[in-house]
A and B are shown apart, each in its own frame.
Chain A
Amino acid sequence: MQQRPAPDSSSEQAPPSDQPLELSGAEIVIQSLIDQGVETVFGYPGGAVLHIYDALFQRSDQIQHILVRHEQGATHAADGYARASGRCGVCLVTSGPGATNAVTGIATAYMDSIPLVVITGQVPTPVIGSDAFQEVDTVGITRPCVKHNFLVKRREDLAATIAKAFYIAQSGRPGPVVVDVPKDVTDPGIKIPYQFQPELKLRSYQPARKGHLGQIRKALEAMQAAERPVFYTGGGVILGNAAAALTELVQALGYPITSTLMGLGAYPMSDAQFIGMLGMHGTYEANMAMHETDCLIAVGARFDDRVTGKIEHFCPHATIIHIDVDPSSISKNVRVDIPIVGPVETVLADLLGLLRETGTPADRPPALKAWWEQIDAWRKLDCMGYDRASELIKPQFAVETLHRVTKGDLYLTSDVGQHQMFAAQFYPFDKPRRWINSGGLGTMGFGLPAAVGVQLAYPDAQVACISGEASILMCIQELATCKQYALPIKVILLNNGYMGMVRQWQEFFYESRYAHSYVDALPDFVALAESFGHVGLRVEKPGELEAAMQEAFAMRDRFVFLDVVVDPTENVYPMIAAGKGQHEMHLPPTMSQRELA
């Protein structure tokens, strides 16, 4: 994996003497970004940010600006960049419509705890509140979907505010921070002293740095006393870069592990101890293990309702241990027995330290053996079976083929719907930060711009976007961005002609009344891709799929749009209906009901 150099706080631009730089507000914005180690900014210009764009233009040798085609694309691209690289994503958009267009992307990042700094232009301070041209209350509009936001009213506060924004976005539980900058604050004619302050302390914000050792000891005792333990891990493990520590701990203990949609890849999915994703579209074995466990070890996961199902039926027999850096995640939906507030990375290190002291038994205790036998019996039922003899391309088969063709070495972004679930179920990610999707907000339109961000973070890596014919149209304009920057992304469109996920709910819960879930008047995607200057391919037969994917990925320097015509009626199984218990699953037709009794 290509690793970018860590941001260097002692920037080369820093003046050798103690003499501070004299900069305009616009220059302060750009210098602050450079000093923060930012290499790439995703943005779209407009009146309120023109001073900033001019300053950016003059520093274009030091900071790259990616011109997206819609501000939603800017936020998703910065988000994809952040998810793949672990660094802070940065956007620059204008006031009014620029800011409101960015809101969906900000909310998407917020729900999945992704670090972003979004700089929005604002009308000049003297006219704020007068319904000036392109004025909206950006701070007010974004308040409920940011970790924090600022309106900078004084030029003198600009540098410190941007520094705070980066610190807040990236520390503790990460999240997006908006910095709203009125145009007069960036006036190029007025210069003030600027000094970069890398060290920051805020009296009102002190995220936990270590877990409580007594609690950690107690947790380890409970884990070791358990007979039917299971790890339930989430996005927090990836956000905290704790995949290696998690893998070591899980393997040392020999326990089964399941993950949320957001945590996939933190533990290698192809390893035998991994029992699949859990939740609404999780595996039978993972959900049954959750239901039967006597010790649930939750790591960086937030007990989302897509995971818990009906709370009354959630892990009825378990002692629950929960490691999370955000106290408000703990006991929010489900009461926890042993809470540990702290970053996963340090808490897992402490657990490993204690485990080395106590040591692990050479043989699996008999109870754990019996537990694995039970899990293997559930596994044998093959809850993700599908009709492999189908004449139509099954979406599951398409994802399996994608895995084969890319040899598991892929950054895969996704849109929202059935294709997202099929990808999560059938593409085993063995590394963190490879599976990039919108889980909390479920934002259709995320996939393509997110892939833009990922490809820019890792120019030499294989990057694909799996999408549906409905989702892809929501940010299709970014095909132009891909052209402009020659991004060799591959779009794998699972084209079922329906809003498949909606159609599935209507089939199950509305007696197949398909209200407006049929996407009529679809474009010719091949021609569409070609009109943007890309390569378009279409494939309709299972036998031709692998060759088509090979062909697409062989074009290493081209953006390829692969329109895969799949079975229009396939459903995602298993499925726990909203509000049902985690043991009450809709299972695939291939799985006989008798076997489950």
Chain B
Amino acid sequence: MRHILSMLVENESGALSRIAGLFSARGYNIESLTVAPTDDPSLSRMTLVTSGNDDIVEQIKKQLNKLIDVVKLLDLSEGPHIERELMMIKLRAQGTNREELKRLTDIFRAKIIDVTEASYVVELTGTSSKLDAFMQAVPEGLITEVVRSGPSGIGRGEKALSL
């Protein structure tokens, strides 16, 4: 199963490599990893998407918690949560395709943020599966470049992941 793990991590230079190193050393899956500082400059917030059976994910969480730099960890998949990912996608937009891609962009409530005679850059935010769906919907051969941030997540409701 896919799990979204959200972590507060000491904002120190080695923290990211400790986490990445843990996954490669122990052979765990890592689908995506996003990291940026928070309102507290001493902390970074990290969202990590992984997958595996229950035993493996349990072990991944224990191993992450064991890292001295990991201050708090929450498995967002265990409760109601919101997940967002940003994608910027460059499309070949010429002739009749231009209209069709514009329509598709509207349907997905995406935005065209850069235009040339031959291309669009489309920005789209949503769950990872929505982003997947958009890419599926683009006619064959028109995608020239894809940049995805990997998902970030936050729990629903009042409760916050903080110190």
Binding site for B on A (CB under 8 A): 139-140, 143-144, 147-149, 151, 168, 202-205, 326-328, 330-332, 335
Contacts and interface: CB of A to CB of B under 8 A. Distances in A.
B144 interface: no
B17 interface: yes
Contacts of A205: 68
A140 B17 contact: yes
Contact of B66 (A139, A144, A149, A326): A326
A328 B22 CA distance: 13
A328 to B, nearest CB: 4
B14 A202 contact: no
Binding site secondary structure of chain B:
helix
A290 B25 CA distance: 31
A202 B70 CA distance: 11
Contacts of B163: 203
B71 A203 contact: yes
Interface string B67-111: 011110000000000000000000000000000000000000000
Given A328-B59, A328-B66, A143 B17 contact: yes
The 7 closest A-B pairs by CB, nearest first: A328-B62, A204-B71, A148-B68, A327-B62, A205-B68, A144-B25, A328-B66
B21 A143 contact: yes
A326 B14 CA distance: 23
Contacts of A151: 13-14
A204 B68 contact: yes
Nearest to B14: A139
A148 B12 CA distance: 13
B125 to A, nearest CB: 31
Nearest to B66: A328
A578 to B, nearest CB: 19
A332 B59 contact: yes
Contacts of B14: 139, 143, 149, 151
Interface string B121-160: 0000000000000000000000000000000000000000
B114 interface: no
A541 to B, nearest CB: 50
Contacts of B13: 151
Contacts of A332: 59
A168 B25 contact: no
A488 B21 CA distance: 43
Nearest to B71: A204
A204 B70 contact: yes
A202 B68 contact: yes
29 contacts: A140-B17, A143-B18, A144-B21, A147-B68, A148-B68, A149-B14, A151-B13, A151-B14, A168-B68, A202-B68, A203-B71, A203-B163, A204-B68, A204-B69, A204-B70, A204-B71, A205-B68, A326-B66, A327-B62, A327-B65, A327-B66, A328-B59, A328-B62, A328-B63, A328-B65, A330-B62, A331-B55, A331-B59, A332-B59
Interface in B39-79: 55, 58-59, 62-63, 65-66, 68-71
